[in-house]
């Protein structure tokens, strides 16, 4: 095994529970094939993923910052961090469980909860549990009643890598009371390189293996029904260029993708599905995602500063300027508001049960002269 792990100090952040300054360490996992992933304790954030293109140029393909200040300033955009206890939306910040109504904190329009509440897993400084031969395990114990959630929840997050350029994210959680759990990571990618901007993103070619999206109402809350992707901008079952698709959002209420795809309506934690393939033909870089999670929220950084309106860019790593459509984000997850939609796969775990999330990101290259052939999935 040629995987190695190097630890360094990334910066200092305020621990939201103790309100004291605390060191934030970075763990860089790398293999023999030029794949390198850096993770910081703040938000258990994926701070960078570097990989080679078809011409052996190594580039960082994840948007983010070189210091804690950047992550703090743009906290609400969730660059690379973990989201939990329950990612995505909870309508009216409440749900029924064990015949009682559970009230959560409200951090979306003073009405709903989103991404775990005021102090979600993105703001926590995760503990180092173990440095493994092939990666790291981070840990967090979420107190009973935190942001309204019942039970003490113990989370282990395993980030590991192999020499076949597969990067694994495995999340295990146990609770001492019945409670909902839906933990995910929210990274912005640009396979042309994190500095390549909108031009790089528009060149991407995508496959997303989903027949349906989660139907939502005017408040972006799920209706409990599924929308079929046939003959819509959301149909990605055959390779499509993001650029072609984003043009179809012009003059619409939504300015780009911000949708949860239903990859698998019948969730089985033991089954890992092909979710999607993201290719940048010019560089040959691709990323394939496999996951045991039923859904994937896919967004195209629609709410980033708009340079056509002269809005100030987000200043990222190595003087990168992030504007609208400078990256795409993926979060593998249970469906949004699943506790209030009984037909959706459940997010509840009982004290005897293990929550287990596995997502595998595979990085590779496809020579540019083969880019026109559709790869067999």
DSSP-based helix, strand, coil % in the chain, nearest 5: 10, 45, 45
Task: Evaluate whether 318 touches 134 at the Cβ level (below 8 Å).
Answer: no
Which residues sit in the known binding site?
186-188, 258
**Which residues is 11 bridged to in the sheet?**
24
First to last CA, the chain: 28
Alpha helices in 167-258 (DSSP H): 197-202, 242-247
Q: What is the SS3 string spanning 150-168?
A: CCCEEEEEEEEECCCCEEE
Provide the greatest CA pair distance for the chain: 60
Which residues sit in the known binding site for beta-D-galactose?
186-188, 258
Q: What is the SS3 string spanning 17-48?
A: CCCCEEEEEEEEEECCCCCEEEEECECCEEEE
């Amino acid at each position: 095994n040629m995987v190695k792990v190097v630890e360094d100090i990334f910066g200092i952040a305020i621990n939201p529970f103790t309100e004291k300054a605390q060191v934030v360490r970075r763990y860089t996992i790398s293999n023999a094939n030029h794949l390198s992933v850096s993770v910081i304790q703040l938000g258990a954030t994926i701070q960078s993923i570097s990989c080679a293109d078809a011409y052996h140029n190594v580039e960082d393909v994840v948007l983010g910052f070189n210091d804690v200040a950047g992550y703090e300033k743009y906290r609400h955009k969730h660059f690379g961090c973990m989201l939990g206890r329950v990612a995505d939306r909870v309508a009216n910040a409440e749900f029924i469980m064990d015949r009682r109504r559970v009230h959560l904190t409200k951090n979306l329009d003073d009405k709903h909860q989103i991404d775990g509440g005021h102090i979600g897993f993105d703001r926590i400084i995760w503990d180092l549990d173990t440095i493994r031969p092939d990666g790291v395990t981070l840990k967090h114990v979420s107190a009973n009643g935190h942001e309204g959630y019942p039970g003490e929840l113990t989370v282990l997050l395993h980030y590991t890598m192999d020499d076949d350029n597969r990067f694994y994210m495995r999340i295990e959680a146990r609770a001492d009371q019945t409670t909902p759990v839906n933990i995910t990571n929210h990274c912005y990618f640009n396979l042309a390189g994190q500095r390549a901007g909108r031009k790089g993103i528009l060149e991407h070619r995508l496959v997303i293996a989903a027949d349906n999206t989660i139907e939502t109402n005017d408040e972006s809350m799920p209706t409990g029904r599924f929308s079929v992707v046939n003959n819509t901008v959301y149909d990605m079952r055959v390779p499509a260029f993001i650029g072609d698709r984003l043009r179809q959002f012009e003059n619409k209420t939504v300015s780009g993708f911000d949708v949860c795809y239903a990859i698998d309506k019948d969730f089985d934690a033991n089954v890992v599905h092909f979710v999607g393939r993201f290719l940048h033909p010019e560089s040959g870089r691709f990323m394939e995602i496999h996951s045991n999670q039923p859904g994937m929220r896919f967004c195209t950084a629609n709410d980033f500063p708009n340079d056509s309106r002269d809005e100030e860019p987000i200043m990222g790593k190595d003087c990168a300027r992030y504007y609208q459509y400078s990256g795409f984000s993926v979060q593998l997850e249970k469906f949004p508001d699943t506790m209030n939609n009984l037909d959706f796969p459940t997010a509840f775990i009982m004290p005897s049960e293990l929550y287990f999330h596995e997502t595998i990101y595979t990085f590779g290259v496809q020579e540019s002269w083969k880019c026109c052939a559709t790869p067999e999935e």
